Structure 1
Protein backbone atom coordinates (compact mmCIF):
# COMPACT_ATOMS: atom_id res chain seq x y z
CA UNK A 1 0.00 0.00 0.00
CA UNK A 2 1.30 3.44 -0.93
CA UNK A 3 0.11 6.58 0.82
CA UNK A 4 1.25 10.18 0.71
CA UNK A 5 0.11 13.58 1.70
CA UNK A 6 1.08 17.01 2.82
CA UNK A 7 -0.21 19.55 5.22
CA UNK A 8 0.44 23.26 5.59
CA UNK A 9 1.06 24.26 9.20
CA UNK A 10 0.81 27.95 10.11
CA UNK A 11 3.99 27.92 12.17
CA UNK A 12 7.69 28.35 11.45
CA UNK A 13 9.68 25.26 10.51
CA UNK A 14 11.63 25.36 13.79
CA UNK A 15 8.41 25.06 15.76
CA UNK A 16 7.12 22.21 13.58
CA UNK A 17 10.48 20.43 13.87
CA UNK A 18 10.46 20.81 17.66
CA UNK A 19 6.93 19.39 17.86
CA UNK A 20 7.84 16.49 15.57
CA UNK A 21 10.60 15.69 18.03
CA UNK A 22 8.51 15.91 21.20
CA UNK A 23 7.25 12.46 22.25
CA UNK A 24 4.50 14.01 24.40
CA UNK A 25 3.14 16.03 21.49
CA UNK A 26 3.26 13.04 19.19
CA UNK A 27 1.62 10.68 21.67
CA UNK A 28 -1.15 13.22 22.25
CA UNK A 29 -1.86 13.31 18.51
CA UNK A 30 -2.12 9.55 17.98
CA UNK A 31 -5.35 7.88 18.96
CA UNK A 32 -4.93 4.72 21.04
CA UNK A 33 -1.26 5.12 22.01
CA UNK A 34 -0.48 3.48 25.35
CA UNK A 35 3.29 3.90 25.46
CA UNK A 36 6.25 5.33 23.52
CA UNK A 37 9.76 4.42 24.64
CA UNK A 38 13.31 4.66 23.42
CA UNK A 39 14.74 1.18 22.80
CA UNK A 40 18.12 2.05 21.33
CA UNK A 41 20.06 4.84 19.76
CA UNK A 42 17.75 5.26 16.75
CA UNK A 43 15.05 2.75 17.68
CA UNK A 44 11.77 3.26 19.47
CA UNK A 45 8.99 0.96 20.60
CA UNK A 46 5.36 1.60 21.35
CA UNK A 47 2.05 -0.03 22.08
CA UNK A 48 -1.34 1.08 20.88
CA UNK A 49 -4.90 -0.11 20.49
CA UNK A 50 -6.21 0.05 16.96
CA UNK A 51 -9.28 -1.02 15.02
CA UNK A 52 -9.40 -1.89 11.34
CA UNK A 53 -12.89 -2.85 10.24
CA UNK A 54 -13.99 -5.71 12.51
CA UNK A 55 -10.43 -6.37 13.74
CA UNK A 56 -9.55 -4.72 17.04
CA UNK A 57 -6.22 -5.48 18.67
CA UNK A 58 -3.36 -4.18 20.72
CA UNK A 59 -0.37 -3.64 18.47
CA UNK A 60 3.24 -3.54 19.50
CA UNK A 61 5.50 -1.71 17.10
CA UNK A 62 9.10 -0.70 16.65
CA UNK A 63 10.51 1.98 14.40
CA UNK A 64 13.96 3.04 13.36
CA UNK A 65 15.09 6.42 12.05
CA UNK A 66 17.56 6.91 9.24
CA UNK A 67 18.65 9.49 6.69
CA UNK A 68 18.18 12.23 9.30
CA UNK A 69 18.67 15.72 7.85
CA UNK A 70 17.75 18.08 10.70
CA UNK A 71 15.60 20.19 10.49
CA UNK A 72 14.49 19.14 7.03
CA UNK A 73 13.79 15.43 6.65
CA UNK A 74 14.17 11.83 7.82
CA UNK A 75 13.07 8.30 6.97
CA UNK A 76 11.13 6.07 9.38
CA UNK A 77 11.08 2.29 8.99
CA UNK A 78 8.91 0.20 11.25
CA UNK A 79 6.86 -2.85 11.91
CA UNK A 80 3.96 -3.69 14.16
CA UNK A 81 2.47 -6.93 15.42
CA UNK A 82 -1.04 -7.48 16.66
CA UNK A 83 -0.99 -11.16 17.57
CA UNK A 84 -3.55 -13.11 15.59
CA UNK A 85 -4.76 -9.85 14.03
CA UNK A 86 -1.63 -9.77 11.92
CA UNK A 87 1.39 -7.63 11.27
CA UNK A 88 2.46 -4.67 9.21
CA UNK A 89 5.78 -3.37 7.94
CA UNK A 90 6.43 -0.05 6.35
CA UNK A 91 8.65 2.86 5.56
CA UNK A 92 7.94 6.56 5.33
CA UNK A 93 9.83 9.69 4.43
CA UNK A 94 8.96 13.03 5.99
CA UNK A 95 10.11 16.42 4.71
CA UNK A 96 9.64 19.94 6.05
CA UNK A 97 9.85 22.95 3.73
CA UNK A 98 9.33 26.64 4.33
CA UNK A 99 6.10 27.91 2.81
CA UNK A 100 4.68 31.45 2.49
CA UNK A 101 2.17 30.87 5.30
CA UNK A 102 4.26 28.57 7.51
CA UNK A 103 5.70 25.13 6.93
CA UNK A 104 4.77 22.41 4.47
CA UNK A 105 5.01 18.92 5.99
CA UNK A 106 5.07 16.32 3.21
CA UNK A 107 5.13 12.57 3.74
CA UNK A 108 5.22 9.46 1.62
CA UNK A 109 4.81 5.91 2.94
CA UNK A 110 4.55 2.33 1.80
CA UNK A 111 3.50 -0.67 3.84
CA UNK A 112 2.55 -4.32 3.68
CA UNK A 113 0.24 -6.26 5.97
CA UNK A 114 -0.29 -9.93 6.79
CA UNK A 115 -2.54 -12.15 8.89
CA UNK A 116 -6.20 -11.27 9.43
CA UNK A 117 -5.46 -7.71 8.40
CA UNK A 118 -4.49 -8.85 4.92
CA UNK A 119 -7.79 -10.73 4.61
CA UNK A 120 -9.81 -7.54 5.12
CA UNK A 121 -9.13 -6.21 1.66
CA UNK A 122 -6.97 -3.40 0.39
CA UNK A 123 -9.77 -0.81 0.23
CA UNK A 124 -10.73 -1.22 3.88
CA UNK A 125 -7.11 -1.21 5.05
CA UNK A 126 -6.21 1.80 2.91
CA UNK A 127 -9.30 3.69 4.05
CA UNK A 128 -8.49 3.03 7.69
CA UNK A 129 -4.85 3.97 7.19
CA UNK A 130 -5.87 7.25 5.55
CA UNK A 131 -8.28 7.99 8.39
CA UNK A 132 -5.56 7.40 11.02
CA UNK A 133 -3.09 9.55 9.08
CA UNK A 134 -5.63 12.36 8.62
CA UNK A 135 -6.54 12.22 12.30
CA UNK A 136 -2.89 12.38 13.34
CA UNK A 137 -1.97 15.26 11.04
CA UNK A 138 -5.10 17.26 11.94
CA UNK A 139 -4.35 16.89 15.66
CA UNK A 140 -0.67 17.64 15.10
CA UNK A 141 -1.44 20.75 13.03
CA UNK A 142 -3.91 22.02 15.62
CA UNK A 143 -1.47 21.46 18.46
CA UNK A 144 1.49 23.11 16.71
CA UNK A 145 -0.57 26.11 15.64
CA UNK A 146 -2.00 26.64 19.14
CA UNK A 147 -0.43 28.96 21.67
CA UNK A 148 0.33 26.11 24.08
CA UNK A 149 2.38 24.15 21.56
CA UNK A 150 5.79 22.77 22.33
CA UNK A 151 8.59 25.19 23.12
CA UNK A 152 11.00 25.69 20.25
CA UNK A 153 14.48 24.45 21.00
CA UNK A 154 17.34 25.39 18.72
CA UNK A 155 18.57 22.70 16.37
CA UNK A 156 22.16 21.97 17.31
CA UNK A 157 24.28 19.91 14.99
CA UNK A 158 27.00 17.93 16.78
CA UNK A 159 30.61 18.84 16.10
CA UNK A 160 32.27 16.03 14.22
CA UNK A 161 35.95 15.42 13.64
CA UNK A 162 36.04 14.98 9.89
CA UNK A 163 38.98 12.62 10.28
CA UNK A 164 36.88 10.03 12.08
CA UNK A 165 33.65 8.41 10.95
CA UNK A 166 30.59 8.26 13.14
CA UNK A 167 27.54 6.06 13.04
CA UNK A 168 25.39 8.75 14.61
CA UNK A 169 23.21 10.76 12.28
CA UNK A 170 23.47 14.55 12.46
CA UNK A 171 20.78 16.58 14.13
CA UNK A 172 18.57 15.91 17.08
CA UNK A 173 19.21 13.15 19.56
CA UNK A 174 17.60 9.77 18.90
CA UNK A 175 15.60 10.17 22.10
CA UNK A 176 13.79 13.09 20.55
CA UNK A 177 13.31 11.25 17.27
CA UNK A 178 11.65 8.40 19.10
CA UNK A 179 8.59 10.41 19.73
CA UNK A 180 8.24 11.53 16.18
CA UNK A 181 9.01 8.10 14.92
CA UNK A 182 6.37 6.47 17.00
CA UNK A 183 3.90 9.26 16.45
CA UNK A 184 4.33 9.25 12.76
CA UNK A 185 4.74 5.56 12.96
CA UNK A 186 1.80 5.36 15.21
CA UNK A 187 0.18 7.06 12.35
CA UNK A 188 2.51 4.90 10.34
CA UNK A 189 2.66 1.95 12.68
CA UNK A 190 -1.02 2.48 12.99
CA UNK A 191 -1.24 2.27 9.32
CA UNK A 192 1.82 0.15 9.20
CA UNK A 193 -0.01 -1.94 11.70
CA UNK A 194 -3.22 -1.48 9.82
Structure 2
Protein backbone atom coordinates (compact mmCIF):
# COMPACT_ATOMS: atom_id res chain seq x y z
CA UNK A 1 0.00 0.00 0.00
CA UNK A 2 2.82 2.39 0.87
CA UNK A 3 4.42 1.76 -2.55
CA UNK A 4 1.15 2.68 -4.24
CA UNK A 5 1.02 6.03 -2.40
CA UNK A 6 4.73 6.69 -3.05
CA UNK A 7 4.28 6.09 -6.79
CA UNK A 8 1.11 8.21 -6.86
CA UNK A 9 2.85 11.03 -4.96
CA UNK A 10 5.83 10.91 -7.37
CA UNK A 11 3.53 11.07 -10.41
CA UNK A 12 1.62 14.02 -8.96
CA UNK A 13 4.89 15.79 -8.20
CA UNK A 14 6.12 15.33 -11.79
CA UNK A 15 2.77 16.47 -13.22
CA UNK A 16 2.71 19.53 -10.96
CA UNK A 17 6.26 20.46 -12.00
CA UNK A 18 5.38 20.24 -15.69
CA UNK A 19 2.13 22.12 -15.17
CA UNK A 20 4.08 24.70 -13.17
CA UNK A 21 6.50 25.28 -16.05
CA UNK A 22 3.63 25.69 -18.51
CA UNK A 23 1.85 28.16 -16.26
CA UNK A 24 5.05 30.15 -15.71
CA UNK A 25 5.72 30.30 -19.46
CA UNK A 26 2.12 31.30 -20.17
CA UNK A 27 2.20 34.00 -17.47
CA UNK A 28 5.52 35.30 -18.79
CA UNK A 29 4.08 35.48 -22.32
CA UNK A 30 0.90 37.18 -21.09
CA UNK A 31 3.00 39.82 -19.32
CA UNK A 32 5.34 40.42 -22.26
CA UNK A 33 4.45 43.22 -24.66
CA UNK A 34 7.78 43.29 -26.46
CA UNK A 35 11.21 41.69 -26.54
CA UNK A 36 14.59 43.11 -27.48
CA UNK A 37 17.35 40.55 -28.04
CA UNK A 38 20.52 39.57 -29.84
CA UNK A 39 20.23 36.53 -32.06
CA UNK A 40 22.24 33.92 -33.88
CA UNK A 41 20.48 32.35 -36.84
CA UNK A 42 21.59 29.18 -38.60
CA UNK A 43 19.94 28.52 -41.96
CA UNK A 44 21.22 25.29 -43.47
CA UNK A 45 24.65 25.89 -41.91
CA UNK A 46 24.93 29.59 -42.82
CA UNK A 47 25.24 31.56 -39.59
CA UNK A 48 24.15 35.19 -39.25
CA UNK A 49 23.60 37.33 -36.17
CA UNK A 50 22.24 40.68 -35.14
CA UNK A 51 19.58 42.31 -32.99
CA UNK A 52 15.77 42.13 -33.06
CA UNK A 53 12.77 43.76 -31.47
CA UNK A 54 9.46 41.91 -31.32
CA UNK A 55 6.25 43.69 -30.43
CA UNK A 56 3.21 41.50 -29.94
CA UNK A 57 1.17 40.84 -31.93
CA UNK A 58 3.12 39.96 -35.07
CA UNK A 59 5.62 42.80 -35.38
CA UNK A 60 9.36 42.32 -35.70
CA UNK A 61 12.38 44.36 -36.69
CA UNK A 62 15.75 42.63 -37.09
CA UNK A 63 19.01 44.24 -38.08
CA UNK A 64 21.74 41.83 -39.11
CA UNK A 65 25.44 42.37 -38.49
CA UNK A 66 27.68 42.59 -41.53
CA UNK A 67 28.09 44.69 -44.60
CA UNK A 68 24.92 43.58 -46.45
CA UNK A 69 22.84 45.82 -44.16
CA UNK A 70 20.16 43.12 -44.06
CA UNK A 71 16.96 43.90 -42.19
CA UNK A 72 13.74 42.01 -41.64
CA UNK A 73 10.59 43.94 -40.80
CA UNK A 74 7.01 42.88 -40.19
CA UNK A 75 4.20 45.35 -39.60
CA UNK A 76 1.87 42.53 -38.60
CA UNK A 77 0.63 41.85 -42.14
CA UNK A 78 3.66 41.77 -44.43
CA UNK A 79 7.23 40.63 -43.98
CA UNK A 80 10.04 42.43 -45.81
CA UNK A 81 13.60 41.16 -46.13
CA UNK A 82 15.87 43.87 -47.45
CA UNK A 83 19.60 44.04 -48.18
CA UNK A 84 21.73 46.52 -50.09
CA UNK A 85 20.97 44.66 -53.33
CA UNK A 86 17.63 42.87 -52.77
CA UNK A 87 14.09 43.41 -51.54
CA UNK A 88 11.56 40.65 -50.84
CA UNK A 89 8.03 41.11 -49.54
CA UNK A 90 5.85 38.22 -48.33
CA UNK A 91 2.44 37.97 -46.72
CA UNK A 92 3.29 37.30 -43.05
CA UNK A 93 0.58 34.62 -42.87
CA UNK A 94 2.58 32.48 -45.33
CA UNK A 95 5.60 32.32 -43.00
CA UNK A 96 6.21 30.49 -39.70
CA UNK A 97 6.89 33.90 -38.10
CA UNK A 98 3.16 34.54 -38.34
CA UNK A 99 2.69 31.94 -35.60
CA UNK A 100 5.86 32.68 -33.59
CA UNK A 101 4.97 36.38 -33.34
CA UNK A 102 1.42 35.66 -32.15
CA UNK A 103 1.58 35.19 -28.38
CA UNK A 104 -2.14 34.37 -28.11
CA UNK A 105 -1.60 31.52 -30.55
CA UNK A 106 1.48 30.33 -28.62
CA UNK A 107 -0.38 30.44 -25.31
CA UNK A 108 -3.34 28.48 -26.70
CA UNK A 109 -1.00 25.81 -28.09
CA UNK A 110 1.20 25.53 -25.01
CA UNK A 111 -1.85 24.75 -22.86
CA UNK A 112 -2.37 21.53 -24.84
CA UNK A 113 1.21 20.46 -25.60
CA UNK A 114 3.67 18.25 -23.80
CA UNK A 115 6.84 19.98 -22.77
CA UNK A 116 10.29 18.55 -23.21
CA UNK A 117 13.20 19.61 -21.01
CA UNK A 118 16.45 19.93 -23.00
CA UNK A 119 19.77 19.83 -21.14
CA UNK A 120 17.96 21.01 -17.99
CA UNK A 121 18.23 24.54 -19.44
CA UNK A 122 15.47 24.78 -22.03
CA UNK A 123 11.80 23.95 -22.21
CA UNK A 124 10.69 22.91 -25.70
CA UNK A 125 7.26 22.65 -27.28
CA UNK A 126 6.64 21.32 -30.78
CA UNK A 127 3.78 23.00 -32.62
CA UNK A 128 2.39 21.58 -35.84
CA UNK A 129 0.11 24.00 -37.64
CA UNK A 130 -0.77 24.52 -41.31
CA UNK A 131 1.92 22.07 -42.43
CA UNK A 132 4.50 23.99 -40.37
CA UNK A 133 6.48 22.32 -37.60
CA UNK A 134 7.78 24.86 -35.13
CA UNK A 135 9.96 23.97 -32.18
CA UNK A 136 9.84 26.79 -29.70
CA UNK A 137 12.22 27.10 -26.75
CA UNK A 138 11.93 28.87 -23.41
CA UNK A 139 14.54 29.45 -20.71
CA UNK A 140 14.06 27.03 -17.82
CA UNK A 141 15.03 29.67 -15.23
CA UNK A 142 13.17 32.84 -16.29
CA UNK A 143 10.67 31.31 -18.80
CA UNK A 144 11.45 33.85 -21.54
CA UNK A 145 11.34 32.89 -25.19
CA UNK A 146 14.91 31.98 -26.20
CA UNK A 147 14.59 30.51 -29.67
CA UNK A 148 12.81 28.58 -32.36
CA UNK A 149 13.41 26.09 -35.11
CA UNK A 150 11.36 26.09 -38.32
CA UNK A 151 11.54 25.51 -42.01
CA UNK A 152 11.30 28.69 -44.04
CA UNK A 153 9.17 29.16 -47.14
CA UNK A 154 11.95 27.55 -49.20
CA UNK A 155 12.07 24.53 -46.84
CA UNK A 156 15.43 25.58 -45.37
CA UNK A 157 15.99 24.58 -41.75
CA UNK A 158 16.10 27.79 -39.71
CA UNK A 159 17.39 27.69 -36.13
CA UNK A 160 17.30 30.96 -34.20
CA UNK A 161 18.82 31.38 -30.72
CA UNK A 162 18.08 34.47 -28.62
CA UNK A 163 20.41 36.00 -26.04
CA UNK A 164 20.49 39.15 -23.89
CA UNK A 165 16.68 39.13 -23.87
CA UNK A 166 15.05 42.27 -22.43
CA UNK A 167 11.30 42.59 -22.04
CA UNK A 168 8.82 45.46 -22.07
CA UNK A 169 11.20 48.23 -23.04
CA UNK A 170 10.01 51.50 -24.55
CA UNK A 171 10.28 51.16 -28.31
CA UNK A 172 9.66 53.41 -31.28
CA UNK A 173 6.63 52.10 -33.20
CA UNK A 174 8.03 53.56 -36.44
CA UNK A 175 10.52 50.70 -36.24
CA UNK A 176 7.86 48.42 -37.76
CA UNK A 177 7.15 50.57 -40.80
CA UNK A 178 7.99 48.56 -43.90
CA UNK A 179 11.03 49.89 -45.73
CA UNK A 180 10.61 51.09 -49.29
CA UNK A 181 12.07 49.17 -52.16
CA UNK A 182 15.27 50.71 -53.60
As a proportion of its length, which structure holds more helix? 1
As a proportion of its length, which structure holds more strand? 2
Same fold (TM over 0.5): no
- Rg comparison, structure with higher value: 2
